[in-house]
Amino acid sequence: MSKQLYAIKKIPKAAIEYLLYCFNNALRANEGSVEFTKAAILKIVPHAFGEHDSCGSWCNYASNPEAFRHKYLPGGKPLTGDELKTSILPIFKQAADNAEKLAPRGSSQINENCNAVITSKAPKAKYYSDSSSSDFRVAAGITQVNLGRNYINNVISTLHLSPLKNKSLLYRIRRDEKRKKINSLIKTVEFKKKRRILFRNRQKLNASAEAREGITYQSNSEIDIVKRAITGFIAFLESISSSVMLAAHNGLKFDAPRILTLIKHVDLLREFQSIADKKNDGSKQQCGVSVNIITKIAKAGISMCLLQKTYRNNGFEGLKILLSQSINQKPRVTARIMTMMAIQKKLHELIIACFLHNEFGARLDSNVDFSEKVEDAMNSKKHLDNTLASEVETNRWARRNVLFNTITSDNLTEFPELTERELKIFFTGSYQMSQAVSYLAEVVNDDGIITLQYVKITPSIIKTQPLYTIFLMLDCKVETSSFMLGY
């Protein structure tokens, strides 16, 4: 009933609470009687609107009509408006028609309590259904609901087992007594009145807080906030005159589905779809290639680097083989020649753009004095295999726990040195050398002394730390699995 009343937006919140209060009182006062329950429900709406002709002894209007005030309605005044009354009456008539179901005042609280107790014996997080203890756990939960926590003492006495310790027995007795005391207390009129007063005080606090902080304390306020945000987002998209492309890392699988789910949840999918269609009219063919083909290329695991490499090495034929490769009797991306030619055109334009950038773009001049030697060092190493990294992975040296020895720069009085120029050539440029400064800072103390821990893995390889792993070849050739460091 509360959902139906709240669905009528014209009813004040205080009036809804008053009607529900009267409805609960009607059920409580006429428990077990279908006829009296039905009659009491039908009298609620006329009573709330100031019509007391059919009210019973529970209404104080007859004793003093002039001084009578509704206890929980705003200002103590009755509700007004024929339209409001017409919208409320069908809800209470429907409830009156179901008086046979409402009169017994059945409640699911007992079932919920029983389920909670059984869950404490057989937690849902663990699978007990196929275990031999499952039936005993359920029986123990039901017995505790019926007899209390002291049931275990009765079981032990029946089976002639060792009795419970006095401390444990006393604890169970006290818990049962506390439960009985609470059950009797919550049924008293004084407790119910106090609970209602506390409830109304909380409502007043929430109302004052809402006046200061907005709708944060209202039910479903989260939906309102999301709806405002998405409405603002759609308005922002509409304010942009040109086409719009939304980009995100892993957006297809992560961001987009979640955004669309939120948009559907606040019933703004049609508005969003409308603005999306307008903004995508000019971008159906992005870069001369459809969005569908770009998506297929991404899902096929073909990167831009692979496309460029294939086209550079094998031309259009290589591109054709890559895109039309048969997988489960379907092309990997597409078998249409026109689509492949569009992709070829864009790759060709990209190659031209890269050439023009390299030819006329701003040049890096940090190593201009010895750039040729850096280039030679790069070319000499680009085909070399990192044999040390393979050996480290094969022998699991990086994952093996070992005891390290400590060594400082004071102990290394004679150590081969490289000039800055030699280091830059060795590092094939300045970038790797600039990164080494942060690693160096981790092992240098305030006195400028370097402290390292090392262990000899083989006669020609040592492993050092602290915060990162370095493997050094002792024949002055240095290799690492992630970066290179001078010797």
**131-147 tens-digit pLDDT:** 888 888 999 999 988 88
pLDDT over 80 at 210, yes or no = no
Distance set, CA 84 to CA 16, 17, 23, 26, 150 (Å): 12, 15, 18, 22, 55
> 218-222, 303-307, 376-380, 394-398: which has the minimum mean pLDDT?
218-222
Contact 415, 362 (CB under 8 A): no
pLDDT over 80 at 280, yes or no = no
Per-residue pLDDT, averaged over 3-16, amounts to 79
Question: Using alpha carbons only, what angle is made at residue 442 by residues 439 and 448, rounded to the nearest 5 degrees?
Answer: 110
Q: Burial of 159 by CB count in 10 Å (0-12 exposed, 13-18 middle, 19+ buried)?
A: exposed
* 3-state SS, one letter per residue, for the chain: CHHHHHHCCCCCHHHHHHHHHHHHHHHHHCCCCHHHHHHHHHCHHHHHCCCCCCCCCCCCCCCCCCCCCCCCCHHHCCCCCHHHHHHHHHHHHHHHHCHHHHCCCCCCHHHHHHHHHHHHHCCCCCCCCCCCCHHHHHHHHHHHHHHCCCHHHHHHHHCCCCCCCHHHHHHHHHHHHHHHHHHHHCCCHHHHHHHHHHHHHHHHHHHHHHHHHCHHHCCCHHHHHHHHHHHHHHHHHHHCCCCCCCCCCCHHHHHHHHHHHHHHHCCCHHHHHHHHHHHHHHHCEECCEEHHHHHHHHHCCCCHHHHHHHHHHHHHHHHHHHHHCEECCEECCCCCHHHHHHHHHHHHHHHHHHHHHHHHCCCCCCCHHHHHHHHHHHHHHCCCCCHHHHHHHHHCHHHCCCCCEEEEHHHCCCCCCCCHHHHHHHCCCCHHHHHHHHHHHHHECCCCCEEEEEEEEECCEEEEECCCCEEEECCCCECCCCCCCCC
More confident of the two residues 10 and 238: 238
Contact 173, 181 (CB under 8 A): no
Q: Burial of 44 by CB count in 10 Å (0-12 exposed, 13-18 middle, 19+ buried)?
A: buried
Predicted pLDDT at 283: 43
Predicted pLDDT at 215: 58
CA 209 to CA 260: how far, in whole Å? 32
Contact 425, 374 (CB under 8 A): yes
pLDDT tens figures, 386-416: 788 788 888 888 777 788 888 887 777 676 6
First to last CA, the chain: 81
pLDDT over 60 at 476, yes or no = no
* Closest listed residue to residue 21, CA positions, set 167, 173, 170, 199: 199
CA 56 to CA 231: how far, in whole Å? 52
pTM higher than 0.85 for the full model?
Answer: no
More confident of the two residues 161 and 10: 161
Predicted pLDDT at 471: 47
Q: What percent of the chain has pLDDT over 70?
A: 81
Contact 218, 210 (CB under 8 A): yes
To the nearest whole number, what is the mean pLDDT of the chain?
Answer: 78
Predicted pLDDT at 468: 47
More confident of the two residues 244 and 36: 36
Contact 95, 102 (CB under 8 A): yes
